[in-house]
Structure 1
Amino acid sequence: MPRLSANLGFLWADLALPDAIRAAAQAGFDAVECHWPYGFDAGDVGAALTETGLSMLGLNTVRGAPGENGLAALPGREDEARAAIAQALEYADRIGCKAVHVMAGFAEGADASAAFDANLNFACDLAARQGATVLIEPLNRYDAPGYFLRDADQAAGIIARLGRDNLRLMFDCYHLQIMQGDLTRLLTRMAPVTGHIQFAGVPDRGTPDRGEVNYRHIFAHIDAMGWDRPLGAEYRPVGPTGDSLGWMQSLR
């Protein structure tokens, strides 16, 4: 069984973020990650991380206005996108978090691509000052129709084109199984550009011991690749999170 990170955007989402960190530690997770922590004081979050000994692996830039899903690929919204990037990196620095997921948003076309490239260069410059990594993540067309990043190959192409050492792929097995499948080969092919790996059951984003993906096989393959960082459990529990954790034993 690999080391595991609890994504507190979905797990223990009913608790204040500092208390969710404590719950994750008590449940046996090795690290945590989150979506949008900005409603919680960074000092309180940092104190909970210090108390539990857990690291916060990553957090997201804000989505934008209601109905939006990120700003970085939206032409004409560069000032807002860069303010969101600066906000995320400043918060991350205060809590010792070393990765920020820059959300692209709903967009397509050459202008969106140019805006995303420019904003990612800005993010990488800013992140480099604090030794942080910038992550980009493809989202599936059912959960996020019209999202700019659609698959791992598109993301890898951006990473290659920009040539930034601190720009990496967030490989979410849930999204990429839906969009591309063939996860074993895709993980191997994307390993050189991957900065973080997440997982959930497919197709309902439930616990990983149910659905069409055999995570016993996937975890063994990731281990054989030499990956030694925690994998992010980003699934939607049905009912209390504590009641959904049987997979941590069954997948062993």
Structure 2
Amino acid sequence: MRFSANLGFLWSELALPDAIRAAKSAGFDAVECHWPYDTPSEKVAAALADTDLKMLGLNTRRGDVAAGENGLSALTGRVEEARAAIDEAIAYGAAIGAGAVHVMAGFAGGTGAHDCFVKNLKYAADQAAQHGMTILIEPLNKYDAPGYFLTTTDQAVNLIETVGTNNLKLMFDCYHVQLMEGDLTHRLQKLQPHIGHIQFASVPDRGPLDQGEINYGHVFDVIASLDYDAPLGAEYKPNGPTEKTLGWLADIRR
């Protein structure tokens, strides 16, 4: 089983190129990030080349962070900004050889938001296809992101089927899905054809895997039984130096 370090949380105190090198030293097989845009893409590409790691994906910008925004693509009246963020993410991802872009919906609701998100996702999928990239959408839980447009896997599948492109997939974050829906292993089995990436963290505190209510040994066994062989994303918040929270990885490697 292979694992990706989400550098939005792991080694977040380091510059992104240094965090990539730290992930390599710790034994990760790939990396992923949130918003890398303050770092020139050529520096990230150089670090990836030095470490022979793949950048799995990155997020579109959230919008006006100071105003509390968390994505733009489901916000009616913000199509131009949303598509500029999509274009930026795809261009940056292409420059560093990333495989996917997570298009963030934002805080919205209703049929207008649904229709807006569908149109922007069609646009994103078309643009990403030109670079052989995947577009991901991720349901977020109502506790961490109250009011976020996309909250359940059923809603995500409906969007994927409505858009109808082969390169739009579900980012299945076990942390968010457990808080909103539970029944992780059955959902993983049912949703496998739609899944483009899997992430994990403990529940309910989004910390390392040696705590919380999820038996990840069992979850990982189920994922392996599905012949899912892409790296799984460690997107948890370290409760100390990242290196000291990697006992789970050492145990699996043994």
TM-score range normalised by the length of the shorter chain: over 0.9
* CA distance in structure 2 between the partners assigned to 1:100 and 1:119 by the alignment: 13
User: One-letter code of the match for 2:143?
Assistant: Y
User: One-letter code of the match for 1:161?
Assistant: T
Counting only pairs closer than 5 Å after superposition, residues 193-208 of structure 1 correspond to structure 2 as 193-208=194-209
Query: 1:10 is matched with which residue?
Result: 9
Query: 2:61 is matched with which residue?
Result: 62
Query: How far is 1:249 from its partner?
Result: 2.5
Deviations 1:169-204 (A, max 9, x none): 000000000000000100011101000000000000
Query: 1:40 is matched with which residue?
Result: 39
User: One-letter code of the match for 1:81?
Assistant: A
* CA distance in structure 2 between the partners assigned to 1:23 and 1:250 by the alignment: 19
Equivalences, count: 251
Percent pairwise identity: 61
* CA distance in structure 2 between the partners assigned to 1:86 and 1:194 by the alignment: 23
User: One-letter code of the match for 1:8?
Assistant: L
* Contact 1:61-1:84 at 8 Å conserved across structures: yes
Query: How far is 1:212 from its partner?
Result: 0.3
SS of 2:244's partner is helix
User: One-letter code of the match for 1:218?
Assistant: V
* CA distance in structure 2 between the partners assigned to 1:251 and 1:116 by the alignment: 39
Query: 2:23 is matched with which residue?
Result: 24
Give ranges in structure 2 of 5+ residues lacking alignment.
none
Deviations 1:192-227 (A, max 9, x none): 100000000000000022110000000000000010
Query: How far is 1:239 from its partner?
Result: 1.5
Query: 2:184 is matched with which residue?
Result: 183
Query: 1:100 is matched with which residue?
Result: 101
Q: Tell me whether 1:115 sits opposite 2:116 in the alignment.
A: yes
* CA distance in structure 2 between the partners assigned to 1:36 and 1:94 by the alignment: 14
* Contact 1:156-1:193 at 8 Å conserved across structures: yes
- For structure 1, which segment, 157-166 or 24-33, has the greater mean C-alpha deviation from structure 2 after superposition? 157-166
Query: 1:247 is matched with which residue?
Result: 248
* CA distance in structure 2 between the partners assigned to 1:70 and 1:101 by the alignment: 10
Give ranges in structure 1 of 5+ residues lacking alignment.
none
Query: 1:209 is matched with which residue?
Result: 210
User: One-letter code of the match for 2:110?
Assistant: G
Counting only pairs closer than 5 Å after superposition, residues 126-145 of structure 1 correspond to structure 2 as 126-145=127-146
User: One-letter code of the match for 2:189?
Assistant: T
User: One-letter code of the match for 2:60?
Assistant: T
* CA distance in structure 2 between the partners assigned to 1:32 and 1:251 by the alignment: 18
SS of 1:197's partner is strand
* Contact 1:209-1:251 at 8 Å conserved across structures: no
TM-score by length of 1: 0.98
* CA distance in structure 2 between the partners assigned to 1:95 and 1:251 by the alignment: 29
SS of 2:55's partner is coil
Query: How far is 1:98 from its partner?
Result: 1.4
Query: How far is 1:250 from its partner?
Result: 3.4
User: One-letter code of the match for 1:54?
Assistant: L
* Contact 1:30-1:230 at 8 Å conserved across structures: yes
* Contact 1:60-1:101 at 8 Å conserved across structures: yes
Deviations 1:146-181 (A, max 9, x none): 000011010001101111110000000000000000
- CA-based RMSD: 0.7
